[in-house]
Amino acid sequence: MKPTHGRIVHRTRSVRPVRSKGPLVYTLHVQKNNGAPPSQIFVQGTVACGNDNGFAFILLFTVECSDNLYTQRSGTISSADYPNSYPKSSDCLYRIELEEGFVVNLQFDDSFDIEDHPEVSCPYDYLKIKAGKKEFGPTCGDKSPGRIETGSNSVQILFHSDGSGENGGWKLSYTVTGVSCPDLQEPSNGKIEPSQTKYTFKDQAVITCNPGYRVLKDNVEMDSFQIECRKDGTWSNQVPRCQIVDCKLPKELENGFMTFSTSENTTTYQSSITYSCREPYYIMTPNITAVYFCKENGEWINSETGTKLPVCEPVCGKPIRQLPGIVKRIIGGRNAEPGFFPWQALIVVEDMSRVPEDKWFGSGALLSDYWVLTAAHVLKSQRRDNTVIPVSKEHVTVYLGLHDVRNKTDAISRTIDKIILHEDFDPKIYNHDIALVKLKEKVTMNQYILPVCLPELDHELQGPQHNTLGLVAGWGISNPNITVDEVISSGMRTLSDVLQYVKLPVVLHAECKASYESRSGNYSVTENMFCAGFYEGGKDTCLGDSGAAFVIQDTDTKRWVAQGLVSWGGPEECGSKQVYGVYTKVSNYVNWLDNQIYT
């Protein structure tokens, strides 16, 4: 507050000023020369007194209060000293300034007392309100204006009082409301929070969708979207819609297929698909109910495996065409039907380092879509220094699905990615005569191409038992010095153009060991080998090709298990009496095979 003007109200040689203790109010007692009682002058501000030629000057100031600015969204304003009498000769300006978009509402207290005149409208003291282009007042008297909705964010309240009167003044409280925005309509399958009957300036609304739906704004999916009521009474954006979650087409299952739950093949929320493997060639691992549901997060979920898909593993040891029961001996071997031995592989090697021959072949057994099992001696490079290293993989081709060498239409060929010989293979006695071949490209299973099983169950891991009958297949190949073209052509020098097989009994290890130890030469039947054949001999004893699998059917599971690999035989003519075929004992190498394949 500051003084704006003043006037001399009295001049005397005897002045006794007395200052009151009330805030901003001064009482001056002036003794007149004629001895009249002193008069009282009320001023607000500062009284300036000074001597000028022995006289005291007393200045009465008119009070102006114009620095009252209110920016909060609510508050109270009153005349000075309310509810006591307000000061005289005052001009007070109160300003309420809020951000554009808000409107100020005033609420005057019922206790309202401003000096008025019975005939003239507010000639002395008055209250004026200006709000934007609107004006309210002047107002005086003892009737409260009550509630005034200004409709503006900027309000000026001017209060004027003259130099007389004793009135109690006024008090008001103000609140702020925002400019209203249009009502919001919840989107279908969605909601708006907070839910209000009225939204005003700066109110925010968040749109979310029910489970299985997502907010779609400008073709972009999102979890939620926020809009705000603006100062001009419009929303910052339109309410977006809720779109049902689409999990899109699920991943393909290799060697399997999917079935949709609806004829339209829908992929949206709560749709389901069922995965299946191509039976009877593949089986699902793990063995689950492979139903996947489209969930609210947009992913296909299975209750057991989550988002992870099962795997369709090749079915091992289960030919589509059942092998004849092992009941009696087959004299001289028998022609196999196509698909009897779907694991049978023909391995063709062209190795210029081989001495004395540079082309040869053997057999193997398919274990999976990438791996073929065979004997190490089939893939050992025959160098002059007799070192144990594999032939170059570029020199090896594997044929699968081959039945009649004169008809290659159902057969496939694969080049090689890796050859693994057993690190302890001894080429002198053929101990540890086992090897693996990894194909460069996987094979797809069908009725003519399926893997054989490895020993897995406890009784299988004990190896083949005495007198157990097993099967071994081959083309009875007799001349290794042939070209690759001859191997896969009708001119192949074999005992048979068609794959043949024989049934052979497992021989007691001691009997086989004794049989070979009785012969001249360095023969060693180790614990990593077993023998099969007939005591009296017969040409069918040595029909199998090198590396071919000796398979035994498990009595419980009916799977065909590779228990042996054709490895070696004695020096006598094939089929001689007490000349047994010697096989690598596969059950001794299950851990080694697992380590090579899965690590």
In a domain, 564, yes or no: yes
Helix or strand holding residue 415 (H, E): strand 412-421
- Say whether 446 sits in a helix, a strand or coil: strand
Alpha-carbon span 279 to 474, nearest angstrom:
27
Residues 473 and 370 in one domain: yes
Residues 472 and 513 in one domain: yes
Point out the residues of the chain with pLDDT beneath 50: 1-60, 327-331, 478-494
Phi and psi angles of residue 311, each rounded to the nearest 5 degrees, phi first? -120, 140
Percentages of the chain per state (helix, strand, coil), in multiples of 5: 5, 40, 55
Alpha-carbon span 422 to 407, nearest angstrom:
34
**Which of 361, 344, 346 shows the shortest CA–CA distance to 413?**
346
- Report how far apart, in Å, the C-alpha atoms of 4 and of each of 40, 56, 90, 158, 160 are: 21, 20, 11, 17, 14
Structure tokens at 186: 């919840």
Alpha-carbon span 91 to 78, nearest angstrom:
13
Q: Which of 15, 33, 56 finishes a domain?
A: 56
**Cross-strand pairs, 529:** 584
Residues 363 and 433 in one domain: yes
How many distinct structural domains can be found in the chain?
5
Which residues carry a binding-site annotation? 115, 125, 162, 164
Residues 145 and 40 in one domain: no
Alpha-carbon span 32 to 26, nearest angstrom:
19
Type of residue numbered 174: Y
In a domain, 341, yes or no: yes
pLDDT confidence of residue 263: 92
Residues 105 and 208 in one domain: no
Instruction: Answer positive or negative: Cα dihedral of 426, 432, 438, 442.
Output: positive
Which residues carry a binding-site annotation for Ca(2+)? 115, 125, 162, 164
Residues 449 and 580 in one domain: yes
Torsion of CA 63, 69, 73, 78, to 10 degrees: -10
What Rg, from alpha-carbon coordinates, does the chain have? 54
Range of the domain at 170: 65-178
Catalytic residue set: 377, 433, 546
Q: What is the 3-state secondary structure (H, E, C) of 173-207?
A: EEEEEECEECCCCCCCCEEEECCCCCEECCCEEEE
In a domain, 321, yes or no: no
Q: Which of 146, 178, 210 finishes a domain?
A: 178
- Report how far apart, in Å, the C-alpha atoms of 56 and of each of 10, 27, 171, 494 are: 8, 15, 39, 148
Helix or strand holding residue 596 (H, E): helix 590-598
In a domain, 320, yes or no: no
Alpha-carbon span 489 to 407, nearest angstrom:
8
What tens digit of pLDDT does each residue of 259-282 get? Answer: 999 999 999 999 999 999 999 999
In a domain, 267, yes or no: yes
pLDDT confidence of residue 488: 43
Residues 108 and 166 in one domain: yes
Helix or strand holding residue 206 (H, E): strand 204-209
In a domain, 466, yes or no: yes
Decide if 588 contacts 424 (C-beta within 8 A): no
Alpha-carbon span 181 to 233, nearest angstrom:
5
Residues 502 and 567 in one domain: yes
Decide if 531 contacts 509 (C-beta within 8 A): yes
In a domain, 329, yes or no: no
CATH code, 204: 2.10.70.10
Residues 105 and 204 in one domain: no
Helix or strand holding residue 378 (H, E): helix 376-379
**Which of 539, 537, 477 shows the shortest CA–CA distance to 507?**
537
Decide if 506 contacts 586 (C-beta within 8 A): no
Structure tokens at 323: 């092998």
Residues 197 and 240 in one domain: yes
**H helices within 412-508, ranges in order?**
458-461, 484-487
pLDDT confidence of residue 324: 67
Type of residue numbered 211: P
**DSSP for residue 539:** G
- Report how far apart, in Å, the C-alpha atoms of 126 and of each of 160, 257, 342 are: 5, 90, 111
Residues 469 and 572 in one domain: yes
pLDDT confidence of residue 38: 36
Residues 214 and 342 in one domain: no
In a domain, 301, yes or no: yes
